[in-house]
Chain A
Amino acid sequence: MIVRILGEGQWDVPDDAVGSLNALDDQVEQAVAQQDEAKLAVALSALLDEVRSAGTAVPDDQILDSSLILPDVGSSLADVEALLAESADGLIPG
């Protein structure tokens, strides 16, 4: 499974690592639901570390579609929420 970390690039994560990612993803979701900035930072950083260690980096010259997109480690609650709220324009030119 291809996972993108915003601002860092893509990782190819083996399917058997997805289970542990799911658990970490739940914590991120909880943090967002509880509006807990500190918890979000911890959960996000744990999730991204897991992706980086379990996956292999996708070479720059390969164009692949990601199955999952993760915000980068410095993302604030507002950033994550804005990413989610963003729907019609802004991110992609065109």
Chain B
Amino acid sequence: MAGIFQRMSLIFRAKADKTLDKYEDPRQTLDYSYQRQLELLQKVRRGVADVATSRKRIELQANGLSTQSDKLTSQAQKALEVGREDLAREALTRRSGIQQQLTDLQAQHAQLQGEEEKLVRASQRLQAKVDAFRTKKETIKATYSAAEAQTRIGEAFTGISEEMGDVGLAVQRAEDKTAQLQARAGAIDELLASGALDDVTGTQKDDITLELEQLASTSDVESELTRMKTQLGSGPAATTQAIGGGPTAAIGGAPAPQAPAASTDYQGQPNVGDLR
């Protein structure tokens, strides 16, 4: 089988040989290699944490977008109720844009989840191999002369190098993917911040809300005016009633107190456990 795959395994082997050649006593290579394995293991765990962080950030963003989408739906409903089809259409148009973003995010989420699972699996595999290597290394060092050790080390070493190469590649890929997604996630954050999608935290009002509120207050004013006009027309009996009952609903339509602005920053930095 002299296909492309044969060449690939040669790549790993060549690298392992190169590292082996660095030391006169091959047993030194064992300690050196073990050190590198621990470093890689640490790196894989950081990789897992990074991917998890990105995934959670996407989850937060997706939640934000879906809140937006619900809000726009209810805004469209309200706009229709007051006979403003143009506003309703605007709200629904924005909603479909958000829906699109949401679908994208969901795809990215699935991708990251896949990467995360792969990395977790890779780190488990590497951990098991590193443990096995440590045992083997001690046995070889204790039992064999340098010359004998050479061949024994060669076997263990190419095997572990291959594993490390594989896992290193997985980490690199996960990092690349995460970096790509982070750039896009940043763009969505910017959109959210600019108000184009409206702020999820509700600290700012978008123009549709403003216009709906304006409509509501205008109609309040109108009905108040009408009521006053009726009172004027119907004479003193109505006036007493007005003093007794008093206007009540003018403030009722004002927006409810806003929730404190929640931080959109992601804070769930997972702990990376000790190596040992």
Contacts and interface: CB of A to CB of B under 8 A. Distances in A.
A59 B12 CA distance: 20
Given A9-B125, A92-B15, A63 B168 contact: no
Chain B interface extent, by class: 35 or more
A63 to B, nearest CB: 4
Nearest to B132: A61
Contacts, number: 106
A94 B15 CA distance: 8
Chain A interface extent, by class: 35 or more
Nearest to B159: A63
B40 interface: yes
Interface in A4-45: 4, 6-9, 18, 21-22, 25-26, 28-29, 32
Given A66-B9, A80-B4, A92 B19 contact: yes
A60 B131 CA distance: 10
Given A32-B4, A83-B8, A92-B12, A64 B166 contact: no
Interface in B147-184: 155-156, 158-166, 168-170, 172-173
A92 to B, nearest CB: 4
A91 B159 contact: no
A53 interface: no
B161 to A, nearest CB: 5
Contacts of B32: 94
Interface in B124-141: 124-125, 127-129, 131-133, 136
A28 B172 CA distance: 24
A63 B11 CA distance: 18
Given A22-B1, A25-B1, A80-B4, A63 B12 contact: no
Given A65-B158, A93-B40, A84 B166 contact: no
Given A6-B169, A63-B160, A64-B159, A91 B11 contact: yes
A94 B11 contact: no
The residue among A21, A60, A67, A71 with the most chain B CB atoms within 10 A of its own CB is A60
The residue among B127, B160, B165 with the most chain A CB atoms within 10 A of its own CB is B165
B49 to A, nearest CB: 19
Contacts of B3: 22, 25-26, 28-29
11 contacts: A21-B1, A22-B3, A26-B3, A60-B127, A62-B132, A63-B156, A66-B162, A68-B9, A87-B11, A93-B40, A94-B19
Interface of B: 1, 3-9, 11-16, 19, 32-33, 36, 39-40, 118, 121-122, 124-125, 127-129, 131-133, 136, 155-156, 158-166, 168-170, 172-173
